[in-house]
Structure 1
Amino acid sequence: MTNHRFSYFTLFTLFTLFSNIALAQTTDNNDSKAIEKIEVTGSYIDGYGAHSASGASRLDLDIFDIPQSVSVITSAQMQDFQLNDINDALDSATGVNVQRIETDRTYYTARGFDITNFQIDGIGLPLTSGNNHADEDTAIYERVEVIRGANGLMTGVGNPSATINFIRKRPTAETQAKVNATVGSWNNHRIDADVSTPITDNIAARVVAVKQEQDSYLDRYEQDKTLVYGFVEANLTDSTKLSFSHSYLDNKAKGNNWGALPLFYTDGSATNYDTSTNTSADWSNWTVIKNNTVIELSHYFNDNWSLRSTYSHKTTDEDTELFYVFGTPDKETELGLTGYGSEYDLDDEHNLFDVYVSGDFSLFNRDHQVVFGLNYAKMSYTDSSLYDYTTGNGFPPITNLNTWNGNTPKPTFADALTGSDVQTKQKAAYFTGRFNVADGLHIIAGGRFNEWQAQGTSYGVLQDVNNDEFIPYLGAVYEFMPNTVAYASYTETFVSQTQVDINDNILAPITGESREIGVKRQWLNDSLITSLAYFDIEQVNVAIIDPATADFPIAAQRYIGADGINSNGFELDIAGQLTDGLQVSFGYTDFDIDGDETVKAYTPSQLLKLGATYQFQQWDQFSVGINMRWQNKTSRDQGVVGEGFTNAGDTITTTQDAYSVVDLMARYQFNDAITLTVNVNNATDEKYINSLYWAQGFYGAPVNYNATLSWKL
């Protein structure tokens, strides 16, 4: 695909076009004075427009009133395009880049920095290793909130990239049930059920279950996923509510890769394998079991003041047998690669407790909001790695990846036991207030005192860390004309690091500052919201992989602190109902990174996301839609060509040209209960490398299809 540069003029034109359409309809609506307006409240978001985002603060605020860039992936969008795992869902989020480095390990970035803060209903800890393992199903979530930029008030430590907040499904006031059955390419078979019902006048429950089995476009790769989720909620009194929930996820993968394809030959030219090429052995497997229990208690003291406390217990158990391929192949013979087997096991446990009081008060004849909270979190993990240095099966030669069928003797994993035993603690106290200082002007001010401790060892390296920091937050929102606000926000960032350098010394913490200004507008009786933001971020001492160890196995890789990294740019976000029957989610991000040329090269700096569905007005049973993402060209320097070639000494650069992935949808509603949805993914059959985050990579899925039959009560 041609690498088009989206200009600021283009963005201004798009923003103006959407604004004019919406303004014209707003005028039409205002002329219809006789129409009675009925306000309906509830948890379900119908369409692509959302009003609130609870992960941005503990304040009861609309997105319109939050001085940061916020977007929401609604249940409607997830259902329309079968965004059944979080990677597919976040592919649709403005400004988020999903870095699929392997089949079962994924990094996420925004504004040039890794996203490590993932929350469930506003509660969470940074990812243990900065990445997500295995598949995470979206069936239990009502929506996914993406709060871009630093979010020091609610997350404490973390990068100024984004916070992803998953809002879970909860029991409903009336009985409802829905079952989806999906069949698709590569023997994809999935069934999911969602049932909610009152049990008594004061107790209600909701249960979600998923079973999915599928092969893959990748040779030998297949998945078997089981998910069960239950949520029980009880009104103990008129003012006190208690809930208990638990989710269980069992994800079994076979033929998964560890590492990925080599991207260049010894002469520096690019490899070009079949999309289906996989480096896995036929015995490779990766099983991940996750359990999450959450207990919530909320109490209303009166109409203005309330308390909410949450306890979360989450465990992860991983058992793997992995096969890595390293080296650089010769272009003529395809020789030069070697296999590397390992057994890896992980046990991870998170315990989190959060309690806060929120309320309204009057001062100087104006109403204000405040929140005071305490947070305690403890995480411990142990992992181990075993290898085979004695039988000869631990490092077999790979003759030719083009004909590789994964058939290699399974190693005897009994050598060189290494691993980690690490415990971390986070203690925090936070406060924030929204102060109505003048007509149309609100100031949000607060801060969080955060203490972060870690101790233990990881692969023989001491992990002891003890840091504390006060993180201030200041924001302002001014409604300078009806339904239009300008906003600004400032916060500092702080991240304790456990990565070690080439000398096995722990890197110092990351510190920095994050600023953002923008404008938001609501249209069409709040059914459409547009926002345009400019951000400027400065960070120092960000850990990146030491280039000298980039080709090493994961356990042997070391890091360096990249001083002076900063990122600045803008984001445009449009979400909601543009006109009758037309739901739109549009996002465009354009930014620059300074201070680290490697990160700058492999990070897409221009991202465009578009999701849209149209329900025909004359034939309202039929809907069509498009979900697409586009990114600009990325690259990665891979060293220099060795001796013996005419171009010896030339820089080897892997380049992924700009590309787009287009998904299509058509749905027919037979009656109130039964609906058929057909999805075509990567409709143009684009071939692309998923990520250059690492020196290796593998290709994205080619064109594929699925059909979903839905029944609801």
Structure 2
Amino acid sequence: MSSPQILRLSKLSFATSLILSGYAFADEANTKDDSLEKIAVYGQHHKNYITEDAQSATKLGLSIKETPQSISVVSRALMDDFSLDDINSVLESTPGVTVEQIETDRTYFKARGFEITNFQVDGLGIPQSSGSIQGTLDTSIYDRVEIVRGANGLMTGAGNPSATVNMVLKKPTYVTQAHASASYGSWNNKRLELDVSTPINDEHAVRAVFTKQKAESYLDRYETDKTIGYLAYEGKLTDDTLLSINYVNQQKDADSPLWGALPLYYTDGSATDYDSSTSTAADWSYWDNSAEQVYVTLEQNLSATWVAIARYAHIENEQDSELFYVYGTPDKETGLGLTGYASRYDYEDKHDLFDLYASGKFDLFGQEHDLSFGVSQAKMDYNEQSLYDYTTGNGFPEMPSLDTWDGVIPEATLTDGLNGSDIENKQQSAYISTRIKLSTPLNILAGVRYTDWETKGTAYGVEQTRSDNELIPYVGVVYDFTETLSAYASYTETFVPQKELDINAEQLAPVTGKSSEIGVKAQLLDDQIFVTFAYFDAKQENLAVALPDSLPGDTRYYGADGINSDGFEVELSGKITDDLSASISFSNLNIDGDDLVKDYTPENQLKLAATYQVPFVEGLTFGANYRWQDSVSRVQVEDASGAALVTTKQDAYGILDLMANYKITENVGVTFNVNNTTDEKYLHSLYWAQGYYGAPRNYALSVNWQL
């Protein structure tokens, strides 16, 4: 970072601190005896899946209706009813989001045609070294998951115009409560959850969550062992000061995981059609992922309407794996023609995150307005290493037909070709946002965020050092026609530094773009139903897209200039009748500028989750969770003129999950889930040239106890 850039950011940090201190001293005399008033809105638990308040889009304490962007919330109730036990299944149920599960333990998420790279925990941004999630993020420690669709640079700094996923941790309660759940399902899937919260006294409380899950799989040889521990403390240090400490430990060990997936066409160009259980994993392969996280939050009341919040997080992720990849094109008659590829891969990263901001209200021209401002810093270090076997003959073995292969292959001696990355990233930001009430029905939201991103280090022998900075504006308008109906519009720009390498092993320039959205939000039937409609338009330039002929472990990219996406989303959630509650959404997406992305991204999606409480059988509830998408494809082979010679197609399909819950007593209930009820056979994703099939019909029974 150059000296002028340091000076500019330092001035912003100093000015923000000075303003924050000024508000504290100015209000001290009048607010000395005021009790702590939290500006943040945490939302309520709605069994009927109605959209909740969320804090992922602004730090102004606004409701979803007051925010000029599309926001969806997956509640704890929905996660419990349909066993949405990881972030993959949560986002599969989210409007406008596609889950590109390319392997068993690596997943990409997309919205509005772009990768989701912005993830938050309790509103604190967790920068990702890539757009993928390794392993899985278990949801047992979260109260809800908020998804802000579209660009969200005001809250997260660098980011795509896709979506921001905010995972809200469970909080300690000041009334003792306990919950336990034990389930057993297909393929010997065993899961235990314990959740206990209790007050220490009137001003301090703690909560603990423990989850253990061991499962085999519909995929040959694949097994997982997952352990999650969570501890939370909340307490008042003074009448005006609140301290929260959260600790998370997640471990997922996977035996015989997929690295890569199945070949999708034969040498004659026809489509392969393996059994859903077919896997390319060797019997000795494994992929272990662990994550340890600490979050500390200090909230200080500055006045009756102002609060300052300081947050710090330390996060460590580790991967340890020995993996087996299969590549090539098989012969249709013999199944031969494939080659194996063994590798050891180790990875670790460390994040130190800090965010300090103040939020509150001020009076001007006879109206009360909202203001938030702050500074943040994220320091991220990661190191990765790869090893291969070029000497024993077991590193690249010829493969038998996958139709008969049982995973038995000589174990490679992975000691050759040590290579990897050692990267340090630092992001520093200063931001300010406000909501100005021009009149009773008209509100304007405006903000700006200055972000400075610095990268140092090397990746596979290539120098990665670079420095990028950007001033990101945000403006939005909300007009309230009535207390229950409003219209909105918003505009922002985007900026994403990239670590991906091009064909010449040089780092791609940052992605830049523009994003706009207009929509309508309405609360109907005495606020029991929330309806939103949004039209969006986004453009990015220089977006990294993987070259189709990249080698495993050495993916190269090109910048897709001028990619555009536009479309609309409709969502309804709430209590339709006294007995029927539902969340229904339909999304339409059009992509121009990149045929590859356009082809493998569904144009239309329909998602529905509903529960019905049977009126004549007390305690009995039925539910359905349905997800449909239209057809997608991927051109696999082209001729010299660019005409498609081989294309993989996945026809439109829908997945129906059913649920029945019966409360035996006030404290004990049982839940029976049937997933993929119609036994649909489908490919998870065409994001890569390979793919594998989703799980066939399966069952689970759980017993739940609550104090």
| Band of TM-score, shorter chain | over 0.9
Per the alignment, residue 219 of structure 2 pairs with: 218
Structural mapping, 1:72-87, within 5 Å: 72-87=73-88
Alpha-carbon contact 2:42-2:54 (below 8 Å) kept: no
Deviation of 1:571 after TM superposition, in Å, equals 0.3
Matched, 1:351 2:349: no
Deviations 1:595-634 (A, max 9, x none): 0001100111211110001112232300001001111100
User: Within 1, Cα distance between the matches of 2:103 and 2:705?
Assistant: 35
Asked whether 1:685 is paired with 2:679, we answer yes
**CA distance, structure 2, for counterparts of residue 705 and residue 322 of structure 1:** 30
- CA displacement at 1:43 relative to structure 2: 4.5
Corresponding position of 2:7: none
Q: Does the 8 Å contact 1:465/1:496 carry over to 2?
A: no
For 1:705, the equivalent position in structure 2 comes to: 699
Q: Secondary structure at the match of 1:87?
A: helix
1:30-49 superposed matches below 5 A? 43-49=44-50
Q: Structure 1 residues 252 and 581, CA, compared in 2 at 3 Å: closer, same or farther?
A: same
- The answer for the alignment partner of 1:476 in structure 2 is 477
Q: Which residue of structure 2 lines up, in the alignment, with residue 137 of structure 1?
A: 138
Give the aligned partner of residue 31 of structure 1. Answer: none
Encode CA deviations 1:210-263: one digit per residue, 9 max, x unaligned: 000000000000100000000011111111011111010110000101000000
Report the residue type matching 2:566 in the other structure: N
Partner of 2:219: helix, strand, or coil? Answer: coil
Gaps of 5+ in 2: 1-40
Aligned equivalents of 2:104 and 2:387: distance in 1?
21
Contact in 1 for aligned 2:284/2:411 (Cα 8 Å)? yes
Give the root-mean-square deviation of aligned CA atoms. 1.4
Cα distance in 2 for residues equivalent to 1:547 and 1:136: 28
Q: Name 1:602's counterpart in structure 2.
A: 600
Distance 1:461 1:80 in 2: 48
Is 1:571 matched up with 2:569?
yes
CA contact (8 A) 1:267 1:641 kept: no
For 2:386, give the aligned amino acid: S
C-alpha separation in 2, matches of 1:296 and 1:194: 22
Off by >4 Å, runs of 4+ in structure 1 = 40-43
User: Which residue of the partner structure matches residue 26 of structure 1?
Assistant: none
Bigger shift: residues 632-641 or 690-699: 632-641
Cα pair 2:60 2:359 within 8 Å, conserved:
yes
> Partner of 2:127: helix, strand, or coil?
coil
Asked if residue 545 in structure 1 is aligned to residue 546 in structure 2, the reply is yes
2: distance between equivalents of 1:463 and 1:106? 25
Partner of 2:437: 436
Alignment match of 2:613 (pick from 612, 615, 627): 615
Counterpart contact for 2:635–2:644, Cα < 8 Å: no
**CA distance in 1: counterparts of 2:426 and 2:454, whole angstroms:** 5
Residues of 2 paired with 1:98 and 1:41: CA distance? 27
Q: Which residue of 2 aligns with 1:658?
A: 652
Question: Percent of counterpart pairs with the same letter?
Answer: 52
- After TM superposition, the structure 1 = structure 2 runs for residues 524-539 of structure 1, keeping only pairs within 5 Å, are 524-539=525-540
The answer on 1:361 being equivalent to 2:359 is no
Question: What is residue 499 of structure 1 aligned with on the other side?
Answer: 500
For residues 49 and 310 of structure 2, the distance between their equivalents in structure 1, rounded to whole angstroms, comes to: 30
| 191-200 or 610-619, which deviates more | 610-619
Higher mean C-alpha displacement, 487-496 vs 555-564: 555-564
**Residues 1:42 and 1:483: Cα distance change in structure 2 (over 3 Å):** closer
Q: Structure 1 residues 658 and 449 mapped into 2: Cα distance closer, same or farther (>3 Å)?
A: same
The 2-side partners of 1:219 and 1:641 are apart by: 36
Aligned to 1:330: 331
Query: Aligned with 1:124: secondary structure?
Result: strand
The separation in 1 between residues aligned to 2:137 and 2:42, in whole angstroms, is: 29
1:47 and 1:74 in contact (8 A); partners too: no
Alignment correspondent of 2:28? none
What letter matches 1:661 in structure 2? I
Deviation string 1:441-469 (CA, Å, 9 cap, x unpaired) is 11110010000111111111221121000
Structure 2 contact 589–602 (Cα < 8 Å) conserved = no
Name the residue aligned to 1:186: 187
User: Match of 1:676?
Assistant: 670
1:630 maps to 628
- SS in structure 2 at match of 1:256: coil
Moved more, 571-580 or 419-428: 571-580
Structure 1 residues 148, 123: CA separation in 2 closer, same or farther (over 3 Å shift)? same
Partners of 1:97 and 1:386 in 2: how far apart?
Answer: 33
Task: Provide the C-alpha distance between the structure 2 equivalents of 1:258 and 1:547, rounded to a whole number of angstroms.
Answer: 17
Shift of 1:124: 1.9
What is the CA deviation profile of residues 407-445 of structure 1, one whole-angstrom value per residue up to 9, with x for unaligned ones?
A: 001101100000010000000001100111111111110
* Most deviating of 610-619 and 400-409: 610-619
For 1:27, the equivalent position in structure 2 comes to: none
Structure 1 distance, partners of 2:554, 2:170, is: 41
Q: Matches of 1:461 and 1:259 in 2, distance apart?
A: 25
| Distance of 2:320 and 2:42 partners within structure 1 | 45
User: Corresponding residue for 1:28?
Assistant: none
Q: Is the 8 A contact 1:616 1:622 kept in 2?
A: yes
Tell me the amino acid that sits aligned with residue 195 of structure 1.
V
Report what 1:694 is aligned to: 688
Structure 1 CA distance for aligned equivalents of residues 559 and 151 of structure 2? 20
Secondary structure in 2 matching 1:90: helix
User: Aligned partners of 1:605, 1:307: CA distance in 2, in Å?
Assistant: 43
The answer as to whether partners of 1:641 and 1:652 remain within 8 angstroms in 2 is no
SS at match of 2:125: coil
Partner of residue 561 from structure 1, selected from 559, 562, 565: 559
User: Retained in 2: the 8 A contact 1:97–1:110?
Assistant: yes
- Give the deviation of 1:41 after TM superposition: 9.9
Structure 1 Cα separation of the partners of residues 79 and 183 of structure 2: 14
Change (3 A) 1:41 1:470: closer
